[in-house]
Amino acid sequence: MITQKMKYALKALLELADEAGRESPQALTIEEIATRSGTPKRFLEHILLDLRKAGVVASIRGRSGGYTLLKAPQEISLSDLLRRIDGPIAPLPCLSRTAYQPCDDCEDEAECRIRKVFAEVFWSYLVLIESLTLADMLRAGNPAAKLIES
């Protein structure tokens, strides 16, 4: 399950991507992103800072400043965003690629039935989530984009 923070991050990125796709794209202020995405401004400030540190968005100072995407939507991995915003995505710490820890109560990881079952589910999830990008989310909300690709 993704957190509310992650949902806000995705909504903000979708707004920035929509703006980037316009004929004359502009940097969006936090207020504009918050209004367009329905995201509380106070949360958005922290989220955009995290996304800037991750190299996903850029902040532009000045009168016509705001935020813009640094990468194309097809280069923004959903699994990378999930890890950046929500932390490890594995259901068990012993399955995590980025934050591996053995389980305290596990005597033999190779024979752990809990780990085996969740590993199968998790690897299937990883194959899917690691193939998705922000561009996939943009297409999901745009029926015309699906027709163009067909």
Tell me the pTM.
0.83
Predicted local confidence at residue 44, as pLDDT: 94
Does 42 map to a domain?
yes
Is residue 13 within 8 A of residue 24, CB to CB? The reply is no
Q: Specify the CATH number for the domain of residue 56.
A: 1.10.10.10
Does 63 map to a domain?
yes
The range of the structural domain enclosing residue 86 comes to: 77-129
Nearest-angstrom CA–CA distance, 34 and 25: 17
Does 147 map to a domain?
no
Shared-domain flag, residues 25 and 60: yes
Q: How many DSSP H helices and E strands does the chain contain?
A: 7, 2
Total of domains in the chain: 2
- In order along its 150 residues, the chain shows pLDDT tens digits of 789 999 999 999 999 999 998 898 899 999 999 999 999 999 999 999 999 999 999 999 888 789 999 999 999 999 999 999 999 999 999 998 888 988 888 889 889 999 999 999 999 999 999 999 999 999 886 654 444 443
> Measured between alpha carbons, how far is residue 104 from residues 78, 94, 109 in Å?
30, 10, 11
Shared-domain flag, residues 106 and 117: yes
Does 136 map to a domain?
no
